[in-house]
Structure 1
Amino acid sequence: MADLKARFEQAVAESKQLPEKPDNMTLLKIYALYKQASAGDVDGKRPGFTDMVGRAKWDAWNGLKGTSADDAMQDYIDLIESLK
């Protein structure tokens, strides 16, 4: 577990130094996996239709509901590795 957490934190650091900025759908996936890994299932109400960015982030995160923190960390690590 400690090893996974260390690799996750390393991937978070590497995500800020990718050679090129990922497209918006990939950025949403990165965000959702990070939030699921670090905070668990989404909490609170879905943002209103006037907050399109917040709504997209909430929807992406909500799509991972029920995913364990360990699985989300591993998926995040794999995604960042594929973008390098």
Structure 2
Amino acid sequence: MELIRQFEAAVAASKTLTQKPSNDLLLQLYALYKQATEGDVAPEAPANPFDLVAKAKYNARETIKGKSKEAAMQEYIDLVNKLKTA
């Protein structure tokens, strides 16, 4: 329960960061959030090859496929805390 509370606080904090993270960090946050809340990415990639945003999001999630929800939550918390101090 403590991990969930910390995760929810980190999600709220991620929306109030003083500096916008790089696109790579945003994709990492996205992938960790989705892994923590939904689990593994669907096996089918986006159908539209020209939708570069969807493809980047899918690839980011694919790289952490199999990670437990708890591990994803902790990594998300750690990353947000690191961004808050940067």
On whether the aligned pair clears a TM of 0.5, the verdict is yes
Partner residue in 1 for 2:5: 6
- Segments of structure 2 that go 5 or more residues without pairing to the other structure are none
Q: Percent identity?
A: 51
Residue 20 of structure 1, CA deviation:
0.6
Shift of 1:44: 4.4
Alignment correspondent of 2:83: 83
State the partner residue of 1:27.
26
The number of aligned residues is: 83
Distance in 2 (alpha carbons) for counterparts of 1:32 and 1:19: 21
Secondary structure class of the residue paired with 1:18: coil
Q: Does 1:56 align with 2:60?
A: no
Instruction: Write the distance in 2 (CA, Å) between the matches of 1:56 and 1:49.
Output: 11
Q: CA deviation at 1:45?
A: 1.5
**Displacement after TM superposition at 1:29 (Å):** 0.1
Distance 1:44 1:3 in 2: 31
SS class of match (2:73): helix
What's the TM-score once normalised by structure 1's chain length?
Answer: 0.96
Pairwise CA RMSD of aligned residues?
Answer: 0.7
Distance 1:68 1:36 in 2: 8
